[in-house]
Amino acid sequence: MFGPQPSTRPMSAVQRRRRDVLLALAVAVGLTFVAAVALRSTPVIVLNVLADAALVFYVYMLVQVKHRTREQRAKVRYLGPSYRPSAVYLTGAPDHYGTSQSSGPRLVPLRQTASR
């Protein structure tokens, strides 16, 4: 009732790999902690501290990836079919003045007037 609900989406390969790495690091931390308490050996304690640091660093990196993904989803939107590229006459591309090569409205060059 209060546990995680089964998802309708299957896990991707990346999610499965991240879960497996996290589980392996947690097992390594647990085993080295038990060994450090039981043996009280300096090298085993150092190994436990290294395993703890690796687990903390990996969780930190997972949080960073999650924040970056969430931020990207919030900022980047799919423009879809409503997106139209700028007209040729607005982009500085060569003008063809209404010929079959033109994609914009027919443009007529303006004459200069003598009213200067």
Q: What is the pLDDT of residues 58-82, one digit of tens each?
A: 999 999 999 999 998 888 766 666 6
Q: In order along the chain (116 residues), what is the average pLDDT of each group of 10 residues?
A: 74 94 98 97 97 98 94 76 58 53 58 59
pLDDT, position 21: 97
Q: What is the pLDDT of residue 72?
A: 86
- Per-residue confidence (pLDDT) for residue 102, from 0 to 100: 53
> What pLDDT does 109 receive?
60
Q: For residues 46 and 70, give the distance between their C-alpha atoms in angstroms, rounded to a whole number.
A: 36
Give Cα separations from 85 to 8, 73, 75, 91, 107 (angstroms).
38, 23, 20, 9, 18
